[in-house]
Amino acid sequence: METVFSKEIQDGLDRARVEGMRKSSRLRVTVDGQIKPVLRMWKTGFAMEADAPALRGFVDLYDGSIHLFQCLIVTSEEEAGERRFEFKRATAVAEKPAVDFERLDSAPTALIEDTRGATADR
């Protein structure tokens, strides 16, 4: 059985759902030095409130203070009180810089200094 609500009731339900997601989400997007809240995120994009600006281009996606992704995004659609954005590219942010060589498992992890008479040879 499908329940159909009037437009006013459906709008109120959508606003309440968006408000609940906004309060519980720690996700944020920074663009041009401004921080905008994100309601939810999925594999191929994320959603913000419907009154969010139609963003396009590079943004940084954070979970609280943790930098998750550098993203290239486009505005997808607006539905049910949300503006949805799609990732054209989402690059995970690493804590260390990338290396351009292979690290062997058998490679030494530190240098061991020989202190057994290093002054006796002089």
Are the beta carbons of 36 and 54 closer than 8 angstroms?
no
- What is the number of other CB atoms lying within 10 angstroms of the CB of residue 56? 13
The confidence score (pLDDT) of residue 102 equals 81
Domain contains 20: no
For 81-92, what is each residue's pLDDT tens digit?
889 999 999 999
Q: What b/e string do you get for 62-83 counting C-beta neighbours within 10 Å, with b at 16 or more?
A: beeeeebbebebebeeeeebbb
Q: Does residue 64 sit within a domain?
A: yes
Helices (H), ranges, the chain: 7-24
User: What confidence score (pLDDT) does residue 96 get?
Assistant: 79
Total domains, the chain: 1
Contacts of 81 (CB under 8 A, 6+ apart): 11, 14, 15, 17, 18, 49, 50
**Domain contains 79:** yes
As averages over each run of 10 residues, the pLDDT of the chain (122 residues) reads 74 69 75 87 90 88 90 87 91 82 80 70 51
Show the domain range for 57: 26-92
In a domain, 38, yes or no: yes
- Is residue 106, in this structure, part of any structural domain at all? no
Q: What is the pTM of this model?
A: 0.62
Q: d(Cα 107, Cα 16) in Å, to the nearest integer?
A: 57
